[in-house]
Structure 1
Amino acid sequence: MTDLPRDAPRATVLHADLDAFYASVEQRDDPRLRGRPVAVGGGVVLAASYEAKRRGVRTAMSGRQARSLCPGLIVVRPRFDAYVEASRAVFDLFRATTPRVQGVSIDEAFLDVAGLHRIDVPPVQIAARLRGQVLEQVGLPITVGVARTPFLAKVASRVAKPDGLLLVDPDAEDAFLHPLPIELLWGVGEVTANRLRGYGLCTAGDVAALSVDALRGILGPHAGSHLFAVVHGRTPERVVTDRSRRSVGAQRALGRGPHDAAFVESALLGLVDRVCRRMRAAHLVARTVVLRLRFGDYTRATRSRSFAHATSSGADLAATAVALLDGAAPLARERGLTLVGVALTGLQSDAWVQPRLALDGPDETGLDAALDAVHERFGSASLARASLLRRGEGLAVPLLPDREDDE
C-alpha cells in the first residue's frame, strides 16, 4: 500500500445510511412485500419503500394522499421493536469496523477510518466490505458515501441512493458538489431551497459563485455563512464521537381519529416502556419527560415536566407522561390527535443516583431490572402491556366449569 504525503487530504469519513429503513425491515421479514410498494404507518406515512417512492409516496404524507398516488400501495403497521433490533445489529457492524462511530439516527452513522490506513484496506474498500456485511448478516441494503468531511460523505450517500457506494476524491470535490441541485445539500430544507431558487440559484455551483456577503443578505448572517462554507468545502472534518447523548425518544402514528382516550394512553405507555429500556441499557437516568403530539391539522404541541432528581423508574416516568397527556386532552379532542411521542431528556450517568427513600413510596427498580432482564434474554417482544395487545393476541385462560360446594 502506497503512503500519501502526510499533509495530503484523505477521504476517510464514511456516511452509512440504511435505505428506506422501516420499509426495508418489513420487506426483509415478509417475502410477500419484496418488490412491491410498501408504506409503514397508517394515518401518516412513516417510511416508504423505493417502489412506493418512485410513485410519489413520501414520508410525513397522509395515508389518503399516498394511496391516491399509488393505488396498489401496501400499508403495514410499524414494528418499532424490530427496527431497534435491526439497528443494533447494524451498529454492531459499524463498531466492529472502527471504534470511531458517530450515530446520527437509528439508521445512519458516520465512521472515521483514518486510523486504519496502515492496517486495513483503503476506505472505499472498507465501505464496500461493510455494505456486504450488512446485507449478508442483517439482510438490509445500505448506501455508503466516502469523503474527506462528514458533510461531503453525507451528500455522497444521498447521491448514491439506493443501495450504492460513492467516493468523493479530495481533488475533485468541487466537480462533484457544484453540479448538484441545492436540495441535495445537507441542511438545505424546503424553505431555504425555495428562497434560493427565487433568486435563480438552482445548483451548489450557483451558490458558490456568490460572495459570503451576498449569501448573508439572502439567508441571514448565520445561514448565509454556513452555506458559503458548505459549497466551498470548508465544513468540519472531524467525526464527533465524544458527544454525550442528550435524549432518547420514540413516537407512534395513530392515524385519523377520533381515538379512544384509553387507546392513546396505552400507546403512550408502550412508548415509555421502550424508551425506558433503552435508557437503562445505556446506564442513564433522566430529569425531564417530554410529550410530543401532532394533530389532524398538522400542527404540533409539546409538553414537559422535570423531576427534582434524575430517575430511571419506569413507573414514575410513565405516570408523568400520562399526566402530561391528560393535560393536553382538550387540545387533542379539539384538533384530532394523529401522533404521540415521548422523549426523556436531561440524561446523565446512573453511576451516582440518589436512591428512593422508603418514605417516598415503594422502590420499583427491582421490577424494572427484572423486566429488562426478560427482554434481554427473550427478546423485545417477549413482554408487553396487555392493553397494547390486539384482539386474539396473548394468552387465553380457559374458564373452569362451575363446581358446587360440598355439603
Structure 2
Amino acid sequence: MKRIIMHYDMDAFYASIEMRDNKKYRSKPIVVAGGVVTTANYEARKFGIHSAMTTTDAKKLCPKLVIVPVNKDKYLEESKIIQNLVLKITHKAEFIALDEGFLDITDIIHKFSSKESFGNIFRKRIFEITGLSCSVGIGINKLTAKIASDIHKPGGQYIFNNEEEFIEFIRHKKIRKLPGVGAKFEQVLNKNNIFLVDDIFKFSLKELTAKYGTARGELLYTYSRGIDFREVDFSNSTHSIGNENTFRIPIDSDVEISREIEDLFNWSYNRLIKKNLLTKTLILKVRFKDRETITRSKTRSIPTDDKEILKGMLDELSSSVEFKKDVKLLGVSFGNLENRSNRQLTFEKLY
C-alpha cells in the first residue's frame, strides 16, 4: 500500500496567537521578538521582514512595526492543544516543532471522502478550536507533503498524488527549493550550472555522488524525483498521555464541568490501556476565561492502571480546585508512564 503523509504548518504561529489575543495588533505589521525576530506576521513580511533578522534592521524596513515580546509558555500551551487534536485523529504523528508536524494517514484516509476533504476538515477543526489558521500538504512521503504545505500558505492546502505530479511541479523551481540545499550549497551548484531542479536530471546518481559526496549526491538525486523513504517517527517513548478540551463558549455549571472532566478522564484512560501502559501520576489542568491556569497533580509510589484508583486521584484533585469562574479549558493526563511488559519482566527477574 502506498503511503499517504500529511504535513501541517501553523501560519505565523507566534504572531497569529498574539493577534488573536489582542485586537489592536490585527491588520498591523507585527513581529514576536527579543533582540531578534522570532516570527513575523504576513503584514510584516510584505516589507521584507523575516525570522532571524534583528529588530533594529526590521524597524528600518518598517518604522511602524509593532514588536511583541516572546511568551514561550503561551505558545507551548497552544501547541499542546493542537497536538492533542492531532492525536485524536491518529497516534502516527511526528511533531517536529511547536507549530508543525507530520501525520501518516494511510490507515485512516478511507474514512473520508477524499484527501481534499480530510485536509479541509483538519484545517477547519484547528481553526474552530484555536482560532488559528494552518496550511496543509498531503503527499506520498514526508518530502512531498512538506513542500506541498508551503504552496498555498497561509491557510491553504495542496496535494501530490504521485511522484509524477511532484516532479512536474518541482522541476522548474530553483534548486534551493529542495530541502537540504542551503545558501552555500546553492552557490556551489550554481557554479556548476545547476540553477533549477530540472538541471539535476542530466546527471546519474553515480555522477552526483562522485561530484558532491554520498550524502549530498543522494539527496539531490532522490529529492528531485520525489523519493523519500523516511518514516513518520511516532516511536519515541511516550512521556505523558492525556487530552484537553478548549471550549468556544466557557462553561460554569458544576454538572457540566464534572461531566467534561469525566469524559476527558475516560478518553485518556482508554489510551493508557490501549498503549499497555501503567502510570504513577495524574494531572488535572484548568484554564479560566481570564486565562488564569491551574495545574494540580498527584503521584503514587507504585504505577497502576486500576481505573478506580486513578478516578479516586482525579476526584481528589478536582475537589481541590475552586471553580468560581467560567472555565475555558480542561485537561486530564497521566504522567510517569511505564510499559506494562517491562514491569512484568522486572517482577519475573525476582523469581
By the TM > 0.5 criterion, same fold?
yes
Q: Are residue 78 (structure 1) and residue 70 (structure 2) matched? A: yes
Alpha-carbon separation, structure 2, partners of 1:200 and 1:244 = 46
Counterpart of 1:16 in 2: which secondary structure? strand
Map residues 260-339 of structure 1 onto 2, 5 A cutoff: none
CA contact (8 A) 1:158 1:184 kept: no
Deviation track 1:166-224 (CA, whole Å, cap 9, x = no partner) reads: 01121422112212222222222222222222322222222233222332244322121
Cα deviation for residue 382 of structure 1 reads 4.9
Q: Aligned to 1:186, which of 168, 179, 191?
A: 179
User: Which residue matches 2:334?
Assistant: none
Correspondence for 1:238: 231
Structure 1 residue 32 and structure 2 residue 24: aligned?
A: yes
Query: Which residue of the partner structure matches residue 64 of structure 1?
Result: 56
1:8-407 equivalent positions in 2, closer than 5 A: 9=2, 12-170=4-162, 171-236=164-229, 238-244=231-237, 376-378=285-287, 382=293
- Which residue identity does 1:97 align to in structure 2? I
- Unmatched tracts of structure 1, length 5 or more: 1-6, 246-278, 284-349, 354-368, 384-407
CA drift at 1:53: 1.4
Letter of the 1:190 partner, please give it. A
**2:326 matched residue in structure 1:** none
Unaligned 5+ runs, structure 2: 243-276, 295-351
Q: Which amino acid in 2 is paired with 1:121?
A: S
% identical equivalent positions: 28
Instruction: Give the Cα separation in 2 of the matches to 1:126 and 1:373.
Output: 32
TM-score w.r.t. the length of structure 1 is 0.58
Q: Give, in whole Å, the separation in 1 of the partners of 2:201 and 2:237.
A: 34
Task: Report the AA paired with residue 11 of structure 2.
Answer: D
Counterpart residue identity of residue 104, structure 1: I
Counterpart CA distance in 1 for 2:237 and 2:201 is 34
Matched residue of 2:150: which SS? helix
Give the residue type in structure 2 aligned to 1:209: K
Normalising by structure 2, we get a TM-score of: 0.66
Look up the equivalent residue of 1:173 and give its one-letter code.
F
Contact 2:151 2:157 in 1 (8 A): no
CA deviations over 1:61-89 (Å, ceiling 9, x no partner): 11111111122211000111211121111
RMSD of Structure 2 on Structure 1 (CA) = 2.8
Report the AA paired with residue 22 of structure 1. Answer: Y
Distance change (3 Å), C-alpha of 1:164 and 1:78: same
Higher share of residues assigned strand: 2
Q: How many residues align?
A: 258
CA contact (8 A) 1:40 1:76 kept: yes
Q: What CA deviation, in whole Å up to 9, does each residue of 1:213-254 have, x standing for no partner?
A: 332244322121122111122211632211348xxxxxxxxx
